[in-house]
Structure 1
Amino acid sequence: MPFEPGTAAGPAARSELAAGEVRCRVRSIGADLPVVEIRDAHVTGALDLRACRLSRLLRFTRCRFDEPPDLRDADLLGLAFEECSLPGLRAGNARVRGDIRLLGCEVTAGDADDGAVDLTDAWAGGSLVLTGSRLQHPDGHALRADRLAVTGSVSAQRLDVVGEVGLGGLRTGGDLDASGARIGGTLSLTGAHVGGDLLLRRARLGKGSPGEPIVEACRLRVGGDVDAQRLAVLGQVRATGVYVAGEVRLPGAILVAPGHDVLSAARGSVSGDLRLTCARIAGTVRLPGFTAGGDVDLSGSRLTDAPYAHWSLDLRSARVGGDLLLMARDDRPFSADSGVTIDGAAVSRRTDLTGAMLDVGTAPWVAFDAGGGTSAEFVLWPAEIRTGTVDLRRARCRLLSAAPTLWHATAGIGLLDFRYDMVSVPDTLRGDEGADLLRRAMAFHQPGPYDQLAAALRTSGEETRARTVLARKHQYRYAALADDLLLFGFVVRLWSRLQRGLVGYGYRPGRAVAALVVLLGATAVVLAGAAQAPGRPGLGDWPGLVLGCAAVLLSASVTAGVAHRLADRRRAQAGRLGSPGPGLPPRTGSGTLEGERVIERS
């Protein structure tokens, strides 16, 4: 509501005015003046307007109060304090049909006061404006506005607060704008409902103790977007069960709570994107069970100082309707020094680690955990995995793109029951190179990863390379068996070389045909020589014995090769029948998840 209609005449500049006289003036102003304004006054005594009913706007400009004005249970047309100095404001249960304004005011509460500004259970038919004010109550609530109902917006731009801000149960019809605010205490938004956007651009929150909760936003509901560009928080942010109807944007944010959960939003939900790009985070980001209808983007962020035996980023059982992006951005790699987990998460489109730097200095010693997770595409091209292993057990994807740096993880890769349909990069997981990388990545021989790679190569039309991978699988199996047998290992290696040379473990039938032709030719030569000199003394029957032994070895190698190939075929058929496939949620036009299948952890 505008503040410019005609006003009652106020006293001269900085004149002293008793609180009783102010009360009389307020009650005696005629009905023809819609605004009661007191200017440049020093109000002495306690201004008691409790339960006052006034159908006019009450405005104080450049006034100084000795005692906190008391407007509890008052019913006003409007209330404004502009550039005033107050020891507090008591307006609990007040009903203001217009705006409540504290513009450029200085409010300093005493130690015995409950709060510097008390708007508990108040109602405003307009907006609450706190722009440019300074509220101080170091030992308590600088602003207490629990269950405040505001039909319009709450504007707290450049608000400077020393003390706590209680907005639990707040109801606003419009935005909550605290851009540029400085709050040196706990900000409570528990159970609040913001009808519009929540704006915290360049805000500074914290009071010097990073281990304490600074933002309490459990069950917060926002009807629009959350825009917190370059937000800085010293302390913990707790937002369990938060719901945002739009997007959450925190580019360039600084969140500091070393050794603690710096951001916790378990079971939270965002209808749009969650963007925490190029952020500097000290502590753990915990988002288990989080649901995002769009992308989850932490590209270029740096996560450090997580609690002992905790992840830097925890996205277990999350649901992402778009892409999960943990990439480099603007020459800044995504880095996490205590690992990342997306165990059991479902990503509708792409999980991208291009240019990421992963590390883990403490237990559980896993740099990247995607066990049981599903994604339409895994783009696993980290720039470096300094320490730790990569866990892909029971993960599912349709398309796999993996860099050599992934397979060179220092502690290996968990590949048990990891399934993918196609391989998109021809130079890393193809033929001999792919088999060698798998062998290097696994701590011990497992046939499953080779079978999975061969199946993906067949799907991509690479039948020859698929056979090469399966042949290498048997070669490595015999090598592992020979290492276990020790004394008789040379026999196993000899048998392996014989099969590899003659039949390629069943996947080089041309070699068997060539060996058979050579054997038949040698037999014909021996028989022809014997027929030409039947009585001639020679070397006895050794040619026949050699040929017979060669025939036996060739038959045994062919039989073993056929057995290998049939066993691989049965295993592949069993895998196709026993597994329902990646089980990925279908992609819809709105980017939401539909028909998703939850994969339980064993």
Structure 2
Amino acid sequence: MEIDDLTPAEERLRRAFATGATVDFRGEGEPNGPERTVRAAVLRALLLNGPREAGEIAALKAVGARVTGVLDLRNAVVDSMVRLIHCRFDEAPRLVGAQLAYVSLRDCELPGLDASHARVDGGLRLTRCRIGGPVHLSRVRISGALYLDGAEVTAADPAQPVLQLNQAFIDNDLCARGLRTQGLIRLDGASVTGSIDLEDAELNNPGAQVLTAESLDVGANLLGRRLRAHGRIDLRGSRIPGRVDLLHASLSNPGGTALRASSCVIGELWLREGAPIEGRLNLRRAEVGRLQLEPEMLPDQVRLLDLTYTFLTPHEPAERRLPMLERDDGAFDPHAYEQLTAAYRRIGDDRAARAVQLAKQRRHRGTLPWYGRAWGHLQDAAVGYGFRPLRAAVWLLSLLAVGSITYAGHHPAPLKAGEAPDFNPVFYTLDLLLPVISFGQESAFAPRDGYQTLSYVLIVTGWILATTVVAGVTRTVSRQ
């Protein structure tokens, strides 16, 4: 079109473009009236071949305009700033493959936006925009930050992602505080040099994926305090060296997975002070430096196979942490118990570490055949699998008392009269109970009838106690 074939509103923009001045259409006529209406083709012509003045920086700046037609800048090179505020677009702008200096569409209304493969040398600002269609930012390269604070994005087709940032590269932060979406957000393979801020955001896609960010690479943090997500969040394979902050967050996907962070590498994962997670929590094969996890937030199903973490906070008794391991709907995983044990030992809580190891042996017992379970029950009752050594002392003292009192009242006859030592009921009972120590009593006397039966019981019980004690001590030493 000819640049001189302009309406009065468009002529004002043309004159202001040369000096980078702002044209404010608010308060001039009706919102959709001719006083505030400009054609997208005019904006395109200004950006590509607009007038320039020496010593001035040309820029397209407008407030409160209505833009008709399609702003088509596909594969265009635009070196002027674009700042359109409180504007209304009748059709979705097309910026595919464009090279742009800086774009701000703050507080605008758009039916969608397609900037796939675009390059923005400054920032891209969509703060508080109301977008009624999909936003395509796949493979976009933004040297500054991407702002989506307070934006509302919905899509007419629920099968299509509402916000696509696949393989996007953002050389600063992705700021999306208070973002509201209705549909799927895709961040698969995206790279954000700074942080992703989703504090106070509300993401809705009930019964389906609400945020998928597989292999996401974040340079700092993923912030989601007070985040409300209705649908599945998938962070599988992501690398976030800072913290994933989900304090006061509400994650809900009943009947499915609410949060999947399997195979992730995360500096700190904060799941505290929020409502209980509705849906499954999957942390399999994740590597977490510090896991801040409150038991109250855990759902009924937790998958922890091969999860590794260095520190676990806040400090809780083992009895409050163990249900987390028992909620894993997979097979028995000894690694999960070892991780929890190591976390307690790292802070010097040996009592809790022993409680976890005892729970591990009891859980393992359920996977054994009947004879293994029987032997396990015996070890548990006798010495608590070696983690309750005082039990063996109690058993020995009890049997020693029974044997001593019994044989004190009925001395067994000597095998060789005149050669036997003086009978001592205490040391005679110890001779029966301790298989590796001899006080010369057992070999010198021979009880009869029921007293002989009692001696057999004491001998067998002594061997069982000795075996379980040795097994427990061996397990403890090998663990150290």
What TM-score, normalized by structure 2, do the two folds share? 0.74
Counterpart in 1 of 2:229?
A: 303
Query: Structure 2 unaligned runs (5+)?
Result: 26-35, 53-57, 156-161, 418-446
Counterpart in 2 of 1:463?
A: 350
Q: Provide the C-alpha distance between the structure 1 equivalents of 2:9 and 2:340, rounded to a whole number of angstroms.
A: 78
Within-5 A mapping of 1:315-394: 315-328=235-248, 333-337=250-254, 338=256, 339-360=258-279, 367-381=280-294, 383-384=296-297, 389-394=301-306
Deviation of 1:154 after TM superposition, in Å, equals 0.7
Cα distance change, pair 469–250 in 1 and its aligned pair in 2 (3 A)? closer
Q: Which has the higher helix share?
A: 2
Q: Does 1:551 align with 2:471?
A: no
Match of 1:149 among 77, 84, 92: 77
C-alpha contact (below 8 Å) 1:123/1:150 kept by paired residues: no
Q: Provide the C-alpha distance between the structure 2 equivalents of 1:551 and 1:436, rounded to a whole number of angstroms.
A: 40
Q: Which amino acid aligns with 1:180?
A: D
Q: Which amino acid aligns with 1:503?
A: V
RMSD after superposition: 3.8
Counterpart in 2 of 1:563?
A: 471
Counterpart in 2 of 1:171?
A: 99
Q: C-alpha offsets along residues 125-171 of structure 1, whole Å, 9 cap, x if unaligned? A: 6212343321223xxxx211223433341111122111121122333
Q: Provide the C-alpha distance between the structure 2 equivalents of 1:192 and 1:501, rounded to a whole number of angstroms.
A: 69
Q: C-alpha offsets along residues 478-528 of structure 1, whole Å, 9 cap, x if unaligned? A: 5665xx64xx89xx65x6565445433333444434544555566566666
Q: Provide the C-alpha distance between the structure 2 equivalents of 1:526 and 1:435, rounded to a whole number of angstroms.
A: 44
C-alpha contact (below 8 Å) 2:121/2:143 kept by paired residues: yes
Q: Provide the C-alpha distance between the structure 1 equivalents of 2:327 and 2:360, rounded to a whole number of angstroms.
A: 13
C-alpha contact (below 8 Å) 1:193/1:222 kept by paired residues: yes
Q: Which amino acid aligns with 1:80?
A: R
Cα distance change, pair 465–244 in 1 and its aligned pair in 2 (3 A)? closer
Deviation of 1:435 after TM superposition, in Å, equals 5.2
Moved more, 243-252 or 441-450: 441-450
C-alpha contact (below 8 Å) 1:241/1:268 kept by paired residues: yes
Q: Secondary structure at the match of 2:85?
A: coil
Q: C-alpha offsets along residues 235-261 of structure 1, whole Å, 9 cap, x if unaligned? A: 22212222222212112111113xxxx
Deviation of 1:466 after TM superposition, in Å, equals 3.3
Query: Structure 1 unaligned runs (5+)?
Result: 1-46, 50-57, 66-77, 83-95, 110-114, 208-213, 307-311, 361-366, 402-423, 574-602
Counterpart in 1 of 2:438?
A: none
C-alpha contact (below 8 Å) 1:327/1:355 kept by paired residues: yes
Counterpart in 2 of 1:106?
A: 37
Within-5 A mapping of 1:528-547: 540-547=448-455
Cα distance change, pair 509–326 in 1 and its aligned pair in 2 (3 A)? closer
Q: Secondary structure at the match of 1:80?
A: helix
Q: Provide the C-alpha distance between the structure 1 equivalents of 2:10 and 2:103, rounded to a whole number of angstroms.
A: 28
Counterpart in 2 of 1:512?
A: 392
Q: C-alpha offsets along residues 562-582 of structure 1, whole Å, 9 cap, x if unaligned? A: 124424644x47xxxxxxxxx
C-alpha contact (below 8 Å) 1:327/1:356 kept by paired residues: no
Q: Provide the C-alpha distance between the structure 2 equivalents of 1:163 and 1:102, rounded to a whole number of angstroms.
A: 21
Cα distance change, pair 146–131 in 1 and its aligned pair in 2 (3 A)? farther
Deviation of 1:230 after TM superposition, in Å, equals 1.2
C-alpha contact (below 8 Å) 2:18/2:59 kept by paired residues: no
Counterpart in 2 of 1:275?
A: 197
Deviation of 1:216 after TM superposition, in Å, equals 1.6
Aligned residue pairs total 422
Q: C-alpha offsets along residues 245-287 of structure 1, whole Å, 9 cap, x if unaligned? A: 2212112111113xxxx21122111121111122222232121
Q: C-alpha offsets along residues 302-327 of structure 1, whole Å, 9 cap, x if unaligned? A: 223x5xxxxx2111111112110223
Q: Which amino acid aligns with 1:466?
A: A
C-alpha contact (below 8 Å) 2:242/2:266 kept by paired residues: yes
C-alpha contact (below 8 Å) 2:64/2:88 kept by paired residues: yes
Q: Provide the C-alpha distance between the structure 2 equivalents of 1:167 and 1:220, rounded to a whole number of angstroms.
A: 10
